[in-house]
Each structure stands twice: as structure tokens, then as C-alpha cells.
Structure 1
Amino acid sequence: MQHAVHNLGVPHPAHVHCNNLGIAGNIDTAIATIEAAEGVPIHFAHIQFYGYGTEGEKGLSSGAPRLVEALNAHPNVTVDVGQVLFGQTVTISGDVLRQFDGRKAASPGKWALYQGEGNGTGVVPYKYKSKSFVNAVQWAIGLEIFLLAKNPWQVLFSTDHPNGALFTRYPEIFGLLLDKDERTRWLDKLPEAVREVTNLAEIDRELTLSEFAVMTRAGPAKLLGLTDRGHLGAGAVGDVAVYTEQSDKVAMFDRASLVFKDGKLVVRDGQITDITWGTAFHATPDYDSAIERRVDKFYGDNYGIHPEVFDVPEGIAGREGRFAKLPGTTS
């Protein structure tokens, strides 16, 4: 799959979910998978959930230093972090068996699982607690990955929304990355045992605004092949967020002074001034058309359907311009 995606010229590399998600010791799995890529571009989703060592009395520790060391040694690898944040959220995943196992920790105690023909999904509410040793270690590992990485283009911002935290909580995480004193205040409220198996208390680094812009804007745009956004140069579409400098970074990012979408002002002083719609991008690389006959036969023989049932018609959105092709991938 890696080689196929790379050779076809699809901008975003194979998007990998490692084995042993959420299991102590899975840092070994993550590193083995990084090495197995053998230099071919690869992207790892919510890598925090694969950054767990086995040190300490409780058998759970931060593997972030080992993980970042592997990242630094493999420039073909990109990751998004999957930062968690204390509070209520809900986990949603197509990994039905993992969600079935996670139902025991549902908070509140309602969950829904569906298993269809070879696929399904699981929705399990979950509350990350600052007094929980496991949750606190997870929180620290994500921040360590952000702060220890040498190349911000390799480490992209995410909370695996909503599994780690809702996107509405982003400003709180931004504050933690940009302000060491803010991290210290949070750390002081966590179980003492967390300090013994993590490294966050010893990290003085604060991300610069330039590094932050790469992790949250320029890096994701580059990875997705979106050459007309993620920068302020000629030809950019004009997606711009403007913030008023404040010492309190959480408050600063919680309320944008101005937001422009496609060059149009849509937010002023934190208030929406105009409604705009986004665009769904898709890659259309060249390929050998002979494969179509094989694919048609495969779906016919195994499922009794034609693959066109998976097509997304332009009219499904009820408005024009909902979909667009990535530049450089159109045959």
C-alpha cells in the first residue's frame, strides 16, 4: 500500500494505525513499524496512543523520547499526535473490538456498537480524569512528543477529535505548548507518580509561534498536497486567522480577532460575521485503466455489486463547488 500510494503520486502517504493501540509497551510496535517503512513515506495517526513504555511500579511509562528519536532518524515519517485533555468526550472508532473492550470504562455508562458485514463502528463516551494515573500519563506523553520533536514539519497537531479531546478545547492545548508555566500549573495537580514515569517536568521548551504555525497550518497543508493554503504567499486562497498578542495564550487563541476564509471576513472579535462553506478535496492520480476490469470482477464475484456504488456524486451536497481535485493529481 505504501509503495502504491507513493508511486501513484498521491500527496498524503499511507495513513497507518499501528497494532496494540493503548497497550503498555506498544512503543516497541510503533518503532518496529517505523523501521519497516524502509524510507518510503508513511504517516502515523494519533501516535500518542502508541507511545507507551512499561517502566515504573504500575507498568506504564512515557515512550516519547524513544519515539521522537526514531522520528528524528526517519525523515520519511510524519505523525499527528492525538493529544488528550482532561474532561468529557466520546470515542468513536471503526475498530469495533477495541471499542467493545473499552465499553467497560464508558463514562457515562451508555455505549453503542454496530457490526455489519466486515465493518462497523463503536461509540463509547469517556471522561479523562486528572486524578487518573493512566490518563495523566497519556496527557504528558502527547505534550512530550510535541516538545521533543526537532522538526515541526514531522509532528502535526491533532487530538484525534473527538477521541482525545474535542476540537473546541484546542486553545487550552495551544497554551500548554506555548507556555511552560501553564504546563507546570497543570502538572502540579496530577498524581505524583506521573512525574516518575514521564519527562514533561524536565522539558523547558516553549514552541515558537512559527513552529506552532507549522504544526497546525503549514505542515498539514503540505502533507495533504494543498499548495494554495498553509502559507501567505502569492496564489494562496486567503485563509487567515489573526490573533491579538496576549500573555495568556489560552485566552489569545480562544478568541480570534479576525478570521478570513477564501479572503472573506467571517469572524471579528470572536463573533461570526458571515457563513462560509468548506471544500472536500480528493486526489485523482493517473493509473492503468486495465485495473478497472479486475476491480469490477472482484466486487461482482465477492459482493454482487458494482464499485460505482462507492462514488460520491457532485450533487450530494446540494450546492456547487463542494468538491475539488488536488492540484497536480488530475489525470
Structure 2
Amino acid sequence: MGYLVLENGTVHDPTNGVDGEVQTLWLKDSKVVAPPTENQPPIDRRIDCRGYVVMPGGVDMHCHIAGPKVNIGRQMTPEYRRDEGIPRSEGRRSASGGLLPSTVGTGYMFAGLGYTTAMDAAIPGLHARHAHEDLLDTPLLDKGFYLLFGNNHFVMDRIREERTDCLDAYLAWALSSTSAYAVKVVNPGGVENWKHISRKTVQQLDEPVPGFGVSPRQIVRNLAASVDRLQLPHAVHIHCNNLGVPGNSETTLRTMEALGGHRGHFAHTQFHSYAGDENDPASFRSAVPELVEYVNEHENITIDVGHVNPGQTLGVTGDAPFGYFLSKLTGNRWYAADGELESSCGVIPMEFQPQKVLVHAVQWAAALEWYLMMKDPWRIAMSSDHPNGGAVFRYPEIIHLLMDAAFRREAIARMHKTLGDRTMLADLDREYSLNEIAIITRAAPAKMLGLTTKGHLGIGADADVTIYTPSLNRTEMFQRPRYVVQAGRVIVEDGEIGREVFGKLFAVNPGMDDGQLPVIQKWFDEAHTIRFRNFAIEKQHLGEVHTVATS
């Protein structure tokens, strides 16, 4: 196999300190390599990138693209895809399009925007097989998923008993058995409580979960500590209690403090950044300034934003209590499911109307405040919690809002007329540079995930490259890349999917040896906990797996 040469592009590679330098990239055997020294190296193709903007392939660290809840969402919303689709062509399958496409369409949608890596944010262990089947059928992307633990019976029992040895062994075994990548917490303790007949979630961080005697604070801190002891590449990934509720910023701040210095990644933080009184919807306002001040001062915390866009969307979440809350609030059709002894899910169609609805306008503005007020772009990642805040294909519009203050002011003027009383957005004049966009969409999420071969274009990096035609209309620039290269293969050309290839799966190996397995079995027996007979994944059916070992 010869070289793919990308010549004379204007490169933005923040990890390696490259900010708009004209460079030539040499790609071979799925990697970025040093320029060859031989006189006539074997070159399969040269692409003239003169005048084009060259960045690493995009990395979406928090989206929903696999597993049962995503498929339920597809079944519930056929109208979202009725008039859209991708026709079959040579080397490419037909696929549904729209907000929540088929597995095939999902790969095409992400790659068509310049994204080459995507991580599903919430999979129960008992549904890991289902998730792997979906990911195997999602082309053009490297991918992985986070495993749910925040409402797991076994986890809460061991925390109450202060058995950190067994907790560590269980997390390591579960991650390894399911070929998952990270530890995920959703509404810790609140989901489990809601699944009882009371239909009440846990709202206070120190409120014990009935029947278990542990609080959300204890769940978060113990899981964060276990993740650090296991030296997992990504911090515990936290979806706080009280998502979407006025006044929830206090819960978010206390959860951040509960880490006690351990690493923590806070997901779709916009949805957890509201001031106000839960019993007075008119009091709803942004609390981003208070939260971002804390995050700016605590380097153990990273976030992704979870921005919202005007228009139709679909709530797809492991937080069934919140789905139930939305169903009562909106009257929309709704679906919920119980992951036995582990988790739940909620699915509900929604629409954001920030031009008309004040709450939606505050949500739209709060997301932009997070991007614009965060001092260190290396600790914030772009996300819409796809498809919750809006589909991934709306990212270019957010990029435009971040890079162009005049465009942002025009957008603010179209929002609800009283928005200015609830947010500081209109007072923020910061404009992102192309290099900062490369950080929050590529370099930073890769760094947060511990994916050392992603998000940059240095020697040894995965040969994932996106090439854009520069334009002052940033929406147009970022919604249709000129070329996309994944693992050294050109998959998008002239903005069109040209060939279908399959990427690898990222999983962790926490280094659990056979001697720890009896510890797990012992506690399963003593606690009469479910055995998870079909829990372990047969590795030979996973395709190419890239295991990230812990030190």
C-alpha cells in the first residue's frame, strides 16, 4: 500500500502547536507518518489542499447512536425520516436520513460533517450485545460506548458496605466483559427510586436511596474514586440529578464539589445550569456564570455542553424520570423501559422553539455562555447530546455563532423578547478562532477520552483528516467538508460519501487478572445478585477492537 499525500493545506492541529501553518501530510497504513526519505516513494494518490483548511477528524464524545433506546426512538418517529434518505450507489448502501437515521445513515451523517469518531454515552450492561450489533453496522466511524453504573444494585450495595475492593473489581470486570470504554452515571440513585411505585426521583444530593442507604453524593464520589484507582483513560462521566429543573445549578455545583478532587466529566452541562424556583417556571434563568467560575478554577473537571438548536428533536436518555417529567409537561407520546437492577430509559419527541418559548431561549443562550465563558477550551467539548439538543448536523450553526459575534447578535434578536433579562449572552463579545474550534471539536474531546491517537495530526496519529473549503459563512464551511479521510482512506469527496468502510471499536482493559474473578463471584453469591449469564461479550463477534490498557 502506498502513501496518501495531502499537499500544502492550511493545517490547524492544536495538540502539536500548529495554528494555520501550510504543511504537507503523509498518510500510510492508517497512520500519519514522517515524510519518506526514499527518492521515489510509492504514492497512491496526491490531493492538492492549497487554500483549504485541514483539521484532524472530528471526535464526538457524547452522543446516542446505538442500543435499544435509539432503536425505540427510530420506531417512534417515522415522520422524521419520511422524506429524507441516502440512495444506494457503488460502494454505498441506501440509508434513512433525518434527525435519527438508521445505523448506516448515522455513519454517513457523522462522516459527512467531518467526524470520524463517536462515543455512545449510555448503555446498560445487559444491552451491550445490542449496542455492539448496532455499532458493527455503523460505517465510517471509530466508536465505543460508556457503561451505566449509577443506579446499579450491586454498586450501591458495595458502596454502603464500604467494599472498595469489590467495587473496583466489579467495574473492571463489567467494562472488560462488555467491551465498554468508560463508567457512566445517570441521575445517580434517582432512576432506581423512580422505578418504584412512588414514581419519585431523588432530588437532594444527600437524600438516601430507599432500600440502599446510600446517597447520590456517595455514588458519585465512590465511582469517581474507583475510576481513578483503576486509572481508566476517561474520568467518570456524570449526568447529574435534577436535569432540566429550575434551580438545578445548585445540585450541579454540589456534585462537582462531591468529587473531592477526583476526576469528573460533566455531560450536557447546559441542561444542568439553571437558576430559579422549581415551583415557579417564570423564575427560570441561566446560572452558567456561577458554575463556569467553579469549573475554571478546578482542573479535575471537564465538560461537554449539550447545546440546543431550534426545531424538532428527540429525547433519548437513560434518565426515565426526566422523560416522564417531559411527558407530563408537554403531553407528547412517551416510552420508558426498566433495565433490570441497572438502569432505565426514556424516549420522547420534542421541539425547541426559542423564538417563542422563554425556557427554550434560555437553554439556547446558556449553551453559548458555556462555550464563551470557559477560559480553557481544552476542558470543554462540543456536543448537542445528539439527538437530544438537536442532531449532529446542526453543529456548523453553533460553530458559526461562536466564531461570528455579529451573526450571534442577529440570532439573539430573533429569540424570545425577554431573554436578555435571564442571561449574560448579549454582553459576551468573544469570537472563537479556527484553532479553538479544532480544540473543542477534536483535540479536547480526544484528550478527555485518553485517545492518544485521535484529535491530532502528529506522527503516529490515526490518519483521520477533514479538509474544509474556507468561507466567512461558517455554517456553510463546516456543514460540507471538501474531503474526509478515515484511517487513511478517502471516504468523502466533494461533500459526498464515496465509499463505505468500517472503523474500529474502542474498549478498555482495566488490567483485572483471573485472581479477581472469584472476588466478584463471591459477592454475587453472598448478595444473591443476578449472575448476568449473557453479560460477557464474545470478542470474536466485535470486529476490530482497539483495547486501551490502563497503566
Normalising by structure 2, we get a TM-score of 0.56
Residue 229 (structure 1) aligned with residue 454 (structure 2): yes
Seen in structure 2, the aligned counterparts of structure 1 residues 40 and 269 have a Cα distance that, compared at 3 Å, is same
Counting only pairs closer than 5 Å after superposition, residues 132-281 of structure 1 correspond to structure 2 as: 132-281=357-506
Q: 289, 298, 302: which one pairs with 2:528?
A: 302
Secondary structure, in 3 states, of the residue corresponding to 2:418? helix
Indicate if the aligned counterparts of 1:106 and 1:124 stay in contact, CA closer than 8 A: no
Indicate if the aligned counterparts of 1:83 and 1:142 stay in contact, CA closer than 8 A: yes
Indicate if the aligned counterparts of 2:266 and 2:304 stay in contact, CA closer than 8 A: yes
Q: Which residue of 2 aligns with 1:17?
A: 239
Indicate if the aligned counterparts of 1:155 and 1:215 stay in contact, CA closer than 8 A: yes
Q: Which residue of 1 aligns with 2:311?
A: 87
Structure 2 Cα separation of the partners of residues 267 and 277 of structure 1: 14
Indicate if the aligned counterparts of 1:92 and 1:123 stay in contact, CA closer than 8 A: yes
Q: 274, 279, 296: which one pairs with 1:52?
A: 274
Structure 2 Cα separation of the partners of residues 62 and 77 of structure 1: 20
Secondary structure, in 3 states, of the residue corresponding to 2:388? coil
Please tell me the residue identity of whatever aligns with 1:154: R
Q: Which residue of 1 aligns with 2:334?
A: 111
Indicate if the aligned counterparts of 1:243 and 1:256 stay in contact, CA closer than 8 A: yes
Seen in structure 2, the aligned counterparts of structure 1 residues 167 and 310 have a Cα distance that, compared at 3 Å, is same
Structure 1 Cα separation of the partners of residues 436 and 374 of structure 2: 11
Offset of residue 287 of structure 1: 3.6
Secondary structure, in 3 states, of the residue corresponding to 1:291? helix
Secondary structure, in 3 states, of the residue corresponding to 1:138? helix
Structure 2 Cα separation of the partners of residues 315 and 289 of structure 1: 20
Indicate if the aligned counterparts of 1:8 and 1:287 stay in contact, CA closer than 8 A: no
Structure 2 Cα separation of the partners of residues 313 and 182 of structure 1: 51
Q: 227, 233, 256: which one pairs with 1:34?
A: 256
**Higher alpha-carbon deviation: 279-288 or 254-263:** 279-288
Structure 2 Cα separation of the partners of residues 123 and 57 of structure 1: 23
Structure 2 Cα separation of the partners of residues 116 and 310 of structure 1: 13
Offset of residue 309 of structure 1: 2.3
Indicate if the aligned counterparts of 1:240 and 1:259 stay in contact, CA closer than 8 A: yes
Larger proportion of strand: 2
> If you compute each CA radius of gyration, which structure gives the higher value, 1 or 2?
2
Seen in structure 2, the aligned counterparts of structure 1 residues 277 and 57 have a Cα distance that, compared at 3 Å, is closer
Normalising by structure 1, we get a TM-score of 0.92
Q: Which residue of 2 aligns with 1:97?
A: 321
Indicate if the aligned counterparts of 2:276 and 2:285 stay in contact, CA closer than 8 A: yes
Please tell me the residue identity of whatever aligns with 2:224: Q
- Structure 1: gaps spanning 5 or more residues: none
- Structure 2: gaps spanning 5 or more residues: 1-222
RMSD (Å) for aligned C-alpha atoms: 1.9
Q: Across the two proteins, how many residue pairs are aligned to each other?
A: 324
Structure 2 Cα separation of the partners of residues 302 and 18 of structure 1: 29
Q: Which residue of 1 aligns with 2:217?
A: none
Structure 2 Cα separation of the partners of residues 8 and 203 of structure 1: 41
Offset of residue 298 of structure 1: 3.6
Secondary structure, in 3 states, of the residue corresponding to 1:3? helix
Offset of residue 104 of structure 1: 2.6
Seen in structure 2, the aligned counterparts of structure 1 residues 116 and 265 have a Cα distance that, compared at 3 Å, is closer
Please tell me the residue identity of whatever aligns with 1:113: A
Indicate if the aligned counterparts of 1:89 and 1:127 stay in contact, CA closer than 8 A: yes
Secondary structure, in 3 states, of the residue corresponding to 1:309? coil
Counting only pairs closer than 5 Å after superposition, residues 111-130 of structure 1 correspond to structure 2 as: 111-118=334-341, 119-130=343-354
Structure 2 Cα separation of the partners of residues 61 and 242 of structure 1: 39
Offset of residue 304 of structure 1: 4.3
Q: 57, 62, 65: which one pairs with 2:289?
A: 65
Structure 2 Cα separation of the partners of residues 63 and 260 of structure 1: 40
Offset of residue 315 of structure 1: 3.5
Seen in structure 2, the aligned counterparts of structure 1 residues 65 and 298 have a Cα distance that, compared at 3 Å, is same
Seen in structure 2, the aligned counterparts of structure 1 residues 71 and 255 have a Cα distance that, compared at 3 Å, is same
Please tell me the residue identity of whatever aligns with 1:180: A
Structure 1 Cα separation of the partners of residues 460 and 324 of structure 2: 48
Q: Which residue of 1 aligns with 2:550?
A: 329
Indicate if the aligned counterparts of 1:113 and 1:120 stay in contact, CA closer than 8 A: yes
Residue 312 (structure 1) aligned with residue 520 (structure 2): no
Please tell me the residue identity of whatever aligns with 2:230: L
Please tell me the residue identity of whatever aligns with 1:2: A
Quick one: higher RCO (CA 8 Å, sep 6+), 1 or 2?
Answer: 2
